[in-house]
């Protein structure tokens, strides 16, 4: 089974290195880290690809196109996506019950099994072939985290960790792609021109031309 999550929220302002197409190719080849925590819940973890939408589209063009067509949005509206592939598997010993059909007065052989994550029930016919109904339930959580990277640990890489509530789930793979926020230059300097009154001129008859340099700071 494959689960895809499309992101519209903005990334954090944590300084990260933007990746190129070659980085994507290498990251796709890397195996994710899989482990079981102390509570028996399976996890899968991998580095998040950070790139602008043009680079992302160059490699994942089919997937991006499917998102934009299905949601009727534009590329620039996408902040990223996370996708995991997983399996739910296990061995069960169902309960078998012999019952009598009140309508046909015939005998039936029913079987069933259930817990908080999985429920299935069915019937064996005269040829011992089975008809099965099943219902699976699960919750998968995604956590994004920063980890120091580089020789001097001055850079931070973003990782995603997916956790399953169902201990029978087996993760196969994970990928996460995000578009970082554009860098904002808060401090700016510029030239201004205008007109104004000279307060030392007691007559204040007419405005005089004014020119100078201005320093600005963006708060948001």
How many C-beta atoms surround the C-beta of residue 50 within 10 A? 22
* The predicted structure's pLDDT at residue 9: 44
Closest CA to 177 of 74, 70, 54: 54
Would you write out the chain's pLDDT as a tens digit for each of its 220 residues? 656 555 554 444 445 568 888 988 998 899 999 999 999 999 999 999 888 888 888 888 888 888 888 888 888 778 788 888 888 877 777 888 888 777 666 777 888 888 888 888 888 776 666 667 777 788 888 878 788 877 777 777 888 888 888 888 888 898 888 887 666 565 667 666 666 666 666 566 666 776 677 666 565 5
Closest CA to 47 of 172, 169, 149: 149
> What is the distance of C-alpha 20 from the center of its chain?
19
How many C-beta atoms surround the C-beta of residue 123 within 10 A? 15
- Beta-carbon contacts of 1 under 8 Å, excluding residues fewer than 6 positions away, are 85, 86, 87, 88
Largest CA distance in the chain: 114
- For 212, phi then psi, to 5°, come to 180, -175
Q: Which tokens go with 68?
A: 């934009």
Report how far residue 168's alpha carbon sits from residue 7's, in angstroms, rounded to the nearest whole number: 27
CB 51 within 8 A of CB 177: yes
Report how far residue 39's alpha carbon sits from residue 189's, in angstroms, rounded to the nearest whole number: 55
- Reduced to 3 states (helix: H, G, I; strand: E, B; else coil), residue 28 is helix
Roughly how many angstroms between the first and final C-alpha of the chain, as a whole number?
42
Domain limits, the chain: 2-88+138-178, 95-134, 187-217
* The predicted structure's pLDDT at residue 129: 63
């Amino acid at each position: 089974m494959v689960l895809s999550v499309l992101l519209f929220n903005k990334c954090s302002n944590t300084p990260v290195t933007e990746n190129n197409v070659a980085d994507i190719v290498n990251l796709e080849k890397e195996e994710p880290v899989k482990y079981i925590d102390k509570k028996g819940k399976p996890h899968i973890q991998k580095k998040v690809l950070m790139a602008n939408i043009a680079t992302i589209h160059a490699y994942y063009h089919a997937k991006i196109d499917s998102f934009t067509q299905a949601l009727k949005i534009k590329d620039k509206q996408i902040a990223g996506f996370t996708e995991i592939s997983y399996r739910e598997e296990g061995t069960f010993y169902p309960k078998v019950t012999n019952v009598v059909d009140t309508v046909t007065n015939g005998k039936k052989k029913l079987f069933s099994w259930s817990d908080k994550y999985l429920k299935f029930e069915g019937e064996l016919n005269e040829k011992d072939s089975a008809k099965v109904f099943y219902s699976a339930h699960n919750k998968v959580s995604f956590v994004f985290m920063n980890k120091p990277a580089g020789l001097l640990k001055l850079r931070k890489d973003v990782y995603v960790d997916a956790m399953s509530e169902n201990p029978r789930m087996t993760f196969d793979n994970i990928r996460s792609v995000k578009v970082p926020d554009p860098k904002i230059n808060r401090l700016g300097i510029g030239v201004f021109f205008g007109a104004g009154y000279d307060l030392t001129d007691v007559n204040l008859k007419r405005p005089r031309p004014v020119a100078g340099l201005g320093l600005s700071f963006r708060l948001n």
